[in-house]
Amino acid sequence: MQFIIAGVGGQGILFASRVLGHIALSKGLPVNGSEVHGMSQRGGSVISHFKIGPYASPLVRAGEADILLAFEQGEGLRNFHFLKKGAVALVNADRPDALSDPDLVAFLQARAIRLHPIAGYDLLREKMGGRFLFLNALVLGALAAAGATGFPAHDLRGAVESLAPARFRDDNLKAFDLGFGALGAKS
């Protein structure tokens, strides 16, 4: 399974990669990945290529990713080209109207890509007082609800619980559950 995890610096992209790697390694699966970015400082573009399985290279080629996790909508739009036919894209959508652009809709339909927009910022603003630090856990919760990884939701939640710093553990789990509930309600 090949993932592209995209966003901007400070959104916890590497934490999401660690969660997926933790689960894969606990199941004896090989993991390979690479962080590729311009400015990874807070606000700069960050993309993580992540693979689970017997792959030789850490980089995902265009048209071969199974899953796109986009923590920022613009970064999601810039990285749709990585998705293969039948892939899944989970996008933190702060401007959902951009996702209904006719050209984008045609691109996604032609490739049978399942797009799951998530109102992550709205959920975190409403349910967690605007604590956007937990966006990564929210998106991972939505990923668990999508069932796209083949890993049970409790494995993803358990990895978040194990890897989150103790002082943020409860908030990470709350955000995970918000993401799971948000996508689960749409499915």
pTM: 0.93
Per the structure, how many domains does the chain have? 1
* Burial class, 119, CB count within 10 angstroms (exposed 0-12 / middle 13-18 / buried 19+): middle
What's 147's domain CATH number?
3.40.920.10
Residue whose structure tokens are 């702060």: 94
Residue whose structure tokens are 């590497």: 14
Q: Supply the range of the domain harboring residue 144.
A: 2-186
State residue 165's pLDDT score.
95
Q: What's the gap between Cα 114 and its chain centre?
A: 14
State residue 44's pLDDT score.
76
The mean pLDDT values, 10 residues at a time, for the chain of 187 residues are 90 89 95 72 79 93 97 94 97 92 95 96 96 95 95 96 97 97 73
Strands 45-52 and 2-8: antiparallel
